[in-house]
Structures are given as C-alpha cells and as structure tokens.
Chain A
Amino acid sequence: MTERDVARKRWAGQQPVAPLFSLRLDRLPLVVPVSLSLAVCCVVGVVKLHVGPLLRRQPPLTSSNQLSAREGYKAVRYAVKKINDKDSHNIILSYLIHGCYKDTLESLVASTGLNVTTAQLEDMEKRKRILHSALEGKALDAIHLTEQMSPDLLENNKDLLFDLLSLHFVELICSRKYTEAIEFGQAKLTPFGKVQKYVEKLEDFMALLAYDEPEKSPMFHLLSLEYRQHVVDNLNRAILANAYMPSYSKLERIIQQATVVRQCLSEELGKDVLSPFSLKDFLKRS
C-alpha cells in the first residue's frame, strides 16, 4: 500500500473527533476603538496559517473534505508531472559548479548541450585552486589567492581568516616546526585575541604547542582532515556568496527540503502511518 492509500484509509476511518474550533455565536463582535485622528489607519489583516496542534486530530470526512481531498490528490499527480528535465539538469549543474568539478562539467556539457560560459569555467578553476591549496595544508597560498580573486572577502570575514591562519599554524605543528609555529602564532593569531569570541579558539590552538604528541591531546580534532574540510567548505561558501552565487548547491537544498517536509508529514500523520524519513533508506529503495 502506498503512503497515500494509508493516509486515505485513515481519513475514511470513523474515529471520534473533537471539534476543531467552536464558534461562539453568542459572542458580540468585538469593537476596537481606533485612534480618532483622521490619519490613514492601516491595519494588517494577515491570516497566518498555523499548522501545528490542529493537525494532531483528524478532520471529519465531510463532503467538502472529500472534494478537497480529491482535488488535492489531483494536484499532487499534476505537480509531479510538471517536474521536467530542465530541473534535473539545473540541479546537477549546480552541484558540479559548487564542487568545482570543472572537467566533469565540461564532459556533461558536451553530452547534453547545457550552457556554461567560459567565464564560469575560469572562475571554477580559480576557486578550485584556492580550495585545493587549503586542503593540502598550503593555507597561506589559499589566503593569497583568495585576496587576489576577491580583495575584501577575508577582510569582511574575520572568522574565516582566523580559521585559515589556524590551518597554517596546524601545518607547522604537524611538521614539528615549533619555533616557526610560535612565531607565526604570536604574529598572526594572537592579535585576534583582542576580541572575546576568538579567545577560546586561540587558547585551544596555542595549547597544541604544549604537547609532545599533539594528536593525542584533547584538541586533536583541530589537526584532523574533517576540520580542514570544514574550513574549506566555509571558504567555498564565502567565495560563492561574494560572487552573488548560491552558497548551497540546489541539490543540498532539495535534500534538506525533502527531509524537513517528510519529517513534518510523518509527525502529522503519526509514526504508524508514515515512518520517519531516512534519507539513506529512501535512496536504497529502488
């Protein structure tokens, strides 16, 4: 049985229903004394559609409900049909651009006739170089290239600048160049300490110096590939945002949306009707 069938079955079930809202017909209309001035008095008649607690109960299956249910299912079928190839192409395109998959993109463009400009490809190449430098531990190169490409970016993004500098610091520590690390740390990282929010981070990094085997210290995660990837992700998003491009790929967005709406739905219909959404399971199903 599809999920729709289950939901439909539940609707048709004769479950006792508490009234959703009782009309107080005996109540007189409330009268609002409005300012006596003759100025324009604008009022907002905004009806915010509040979903939450109402839907814990099942609406009774009146004839108007039935009609709207039928309309609803028609709408679903129709909307699903309208998903067209262009959407898929755009989504894949946006993923490849976001991840700087230049060669893959060129190959796909050749096979499908999608449109990508040389300017877009060049920008991707530049961004790729920046991100790869940072990932390979050449954070100073990354900073330099970023400043070349977008001069004000790091100035306006101090958090990111700190994170990139910290990558270089970590690189020095991992290469056991402790003197250099101290010098670099004091010159470049310590100045950030003037601002309260950086103090804790700064202390964590500097503390790495105290350990013979920093990878066994409590701050070992700062040396990890995951941390580096995290900083590089932020750098990628910052560069994209700076160029007025989306900082999240459309595919990410779609998956996020699907997760959210599916979770909402399984909450509303109840866990016995719709299992909680697991992206992994969904993708495994053929």
Chain B
Amino acid sequence: MANDSDQTHQQQHDLIGSYFLDLWRLKSQTASASHSKDVNMTNPDNEHEQLEQDDDDDEPVPTELDTLNSSGWFSIVLPDKLSVKYPSVNLHGHDVGVVQANCPAPVKRLFYYFEMYVKNAGAKGNVAIGFTNEGFNLRRQPGKNGQVVGTVEKDVKGRLYPTVAVHSQNEEVSVNFGKDPFLFDIKAYEAAQRAKQDTSIERISIPQTASYGIVRSYLQHYGYEETLNVFDEANQTSVPPVTGFHDNGFNEHAMYALNHRKILRKLIMNGQIDDALRNLHEWYPETVQDDTSAICLMLHCQKFIELVRVGRLEEAVDYGRNQFEKFYNLKQYEDLVKDCATLLAYGEPSKSSVGYLLEDSQREKVADAVNAMILSTNPDLKDQGSCLHSYLEKLLRQLTACFLQKRLLNGNQGEAFHLQRVLLAKNS
C-alpha cells in the first residue's frame, strides 16, 4: 500500500480535485434548471440573472387584506379584499377598525411600499395607515398626494404587516399592494436610495497598488505568462512607475511552474487533451498517478467531450467504454459521467440540457483544475487553499460573506447581495 505521505498527498490532491468537481456539478444543476425553464442557454448572462433573482422572489408579499384576524365589529372588509369601511355609528376612542394585510411585509429588499386610497373620508376623517405587528402599535408615515411627508426608522425586529384603519362613520379606504400602478414615483425613490449608497462608497480611497497587485496575481495564478510579461512591460514604462509592493512578497509562489502552467492551459483550451495528459505524466506525475482521481476524471471526460464536439462519435463511444467504467464504480462521480454520456443521445447536443459541456467554460474549468493541481506540487506551499483561488476571488468571497454576515446581524433583513449590482453600479 502507498505510504503515509503518499496518502496524504493523494487526499490533498483530491480535495482540490473535488472542489472543481463541485463547481462542475453546480454548473450542471443550474444548466439543467434553466434549460427546463426554456431560457436561451447559449446566453450565459441570462442564466446568471436567473440565479440572482431566485433568492428574493421566494419571499411572500402582501396581496390583499386579511379577513380572518379582524377587529370584530369595527371594520368591514369588502368582497374584493382590498377595501375597508367602518360600519357602525359609535365614535368611542377605542372603536378603531384596524385591518392588516394577509402577509407581513417582505424584508429581503431595499424597501417595501404600499398605498391607501381614501374613497370616503366619512364624518371625521380619522383614517390611518402604517405597519403593525401582532399587537396594535401603529407606526404611521403619512403622505399626501404622492409625496413623502416623513418616514419612521424601523427599529423593531419581527415581521410587520401593512395596516390600515378606519374610525368614523362612513369612512372607506382601499389599498393597493402593487396590482395597480402606484401614484408615488417608486422608481425614482429607489434610484435615489441607491445613488446615496453609491456615493458613500465612492469616497473610500484605495491605494493604486491594490488593484495592480490583484490583477498581477490573477495573471500569475492562472498561468497567463505572456499576458503577464506584456503587463509588466507596460508598467515599467508607465509614468509614474508602479512601485511599492514587490517588496512584500506578494503572492510569490504564483510564479511557480508558470511556463508549464501556461502551456497546459493553452493545450486544454484548444481541446488537445492527449497532449495535456502526456505533459502532466512527464512533468508532474504525482498529480495523475491515481487514475481514479477527480482530476483524471475531468481530463478523461474532457477528451470524450472533444471527440463528440468534432463528431467522432464512434471513437467517443469506445473511449467512454474504456475509461468510464472505473468511474462508474465511484458513486460521487456518477452524475457527471452521466452528463457526458448523455451528449451522445442528441443530434444537436449543444442545444440540449448538457450542452454546457461543449462550451468554453467547461474547458476552462478543466484548465483551472489542472492549474491548481500543479500549484499544489509546490514544495514551498504553505496553504493548500491558495491553489484554488487568486486574490481576486478571495476578495469577492470576502465581500460576499461580509455582506451577508452584516445582513444576518440585521435579522436577515435587507437586500440579498448581488455582485452584479455592484459591478454594474452607475458611476458619476
């Protein structure tokens, strides 16, 4: 049996390999989900948007007034469930007819809005609007004819119900939860709110070397040797020269095996999997030693995909028969191998639910996986995790995690973090 250090080496390699398999699996799941929704799959941007929307759409929103928990005799909700009127003649201070919406206001968004229309102000005009929880604590934000009059900061945790109340004879109001267009210019309000957020962020100043360092480390990490050289040259002749961080040992290990990694990436992006495998066996045999490892799976599957791509289907079938058998025994790979095999079922595989396999993004995943494996062979390596991501991705993850953590601390209220929104934010 392999000795201890080999085994740990193997386990470490498979941690890296299985990370990329997980990424593949995620892609497979989203691809089939969006394919079944009849979304145009060859438009990757579209698919990404879909993912963004799923989070917030799940939250239920008020649609009508609640007829079950009513204030007894003091209000009558009309059959359309959107209007309320005050029935009796009593004008006692306590005799307020309060009605809530059928569900609390959603919190996973920037703000929530609803409107009330006074059909009949009745004898005294004592209508009210606001938000309440189970008790009857009204918070009111009166407005008038489409303009904001005042707001109240929400300093309460727990779900709040949009609420209206009537109090005197003949009063009648109706609510609008969004079925009809609002009178208040909600879009302008939203834009103003977002602009306020953007301005406060714009004012943060960051050192120039931060962006520069991140870009450079990205190129190093993914093995873009030629691009890195061009970039370095451009910066040497730049005025003023960019200085001040080479000294920090910024990501030194990413220069490791740069040339080999560049070559392998090129081969894989070109579909030359056999050449890639040959090089790996020659230069970094330990990465492909175990033929049932995740990285071998990815490479063999990619070879299969390349054969299908050029229509050499018989060869593909033969190759599949030879190579996939050993993977079929490993449960964790089943679904991915199945996806590959499914390619054979279609006359036009690129239009099927597994069409994503034929895209460049799949080649890129394999290239990234091979890249990470090679980085993991660096004897000076201190942290395995650093093979998986460049600083850019680490920064993005940190940003996402912090943002969501912040929302969590706020009782999980507020918008979901949408990286796209940050990236597409308007700049002044």
Contact between chains at B165 and A29 (CB < 8 Å): yes
A220 to B375, CA, bound (A): 48
Q: How many residues of A contact B (CB 8 A)?
A: 100
A23 within 8 A of B: yes
Knowing A41-B117, A282-B398 are in contact, say whether A253-B422 is a contact too (CB < 8 A).
Answer: yes
A94 to chain B minimum Cβ distance, whole angstroms, is 8
B-chain residues with CB within 8 Å of residue A112 when the two chains form the complex: 224, 269, 364
Q: Considering residues B120, B148, B408, which has the most beta carbons from chain A within 10 angstroms of its beta carbon?
A: B408
- Flag if B141 contacts A91 (CB, 8 Å): no
Known: A49-B413, A92-B392, A135-B239. A44 touches B137 (CB 8 A): no
Per-position contact with B for A184-201: 1 when CB-CB < 8 Å, else 0? 000000000000000000
The digit string for A231-259, where 1 denotes a CB below 8 A from any CB of B, is: 00000000001000011111111111111
Tell me the residues in window 260-280 of chain B with beta carbons closer than 8 Å to chain A beta carbons.
Answer: 265-266, 269
A109-146 CB mask vs B (1 if < 8 Å, else 0) is 00111000000000000000000100110000000000
B369 at the interface (CB under 8 A from A): no
- Contact (A241, B397) CB under 8 Å given A32-B127, A35-B144, A43-B141: no
Contacts A55-B410, A250-B423, A265-B405 hold; do A111 and B227 have CB atoms under 8 A apart?
yes
- Given A29-B128, A34-B121, A35-B125, A265 and B234 touching (CB < 8 A)? no
Instruction: Among A25, A41, A54, A282, point to the contact of B118 (Cβ < 8 A).
Output: A41
Asked whether A252 lies within 8 Å of B206 as measured between CB atoms, the reply is yes
Bound-state Cα–Cα, A219 to B66, Å: 71
- Say whether A95 faces chain B, with CB atoms less than 8 Å apart: yes
- Would A45 and B183 be within 8 Å (CB), given that A29-B137, A283-B213, A286-B251 are in contact? no
List the interface of chain A (C-beta within 8 A of B).
Answer: 3-4, 7, 20-21, 23-25, 27-51, 54-55, 59, 68-69, 71-73, 75-76, 79-88, 90-92, 95-96, 101, 103-104, 107-108, 111-113, 132, 135-136, 225-226, 229, 241, 246-262, 264-265, 268-269, 279-280, 282-284, 286
* Residues of chain B whose beta carbon lies under 8 Å from any beta carbon of chain A: 22-23, 26, 44, 48, 51, 55, 93-94, 96, 98, 105, 107, 111-121, 124-133, 135-138, 140-146, 148-149, 151, 153-157, 160, 162, 165, 167, 182-184, 189, 200-202, 204, 206-207, 210-211, 213-215, 218-219, 224, 226-227, 230-231, 233-234, 239-240, 248-251, 253, 265-266, 269, 360-361, 364-365, 368, 382-383, 386, 390-414, 416-417, 419, 422-423, 425-428
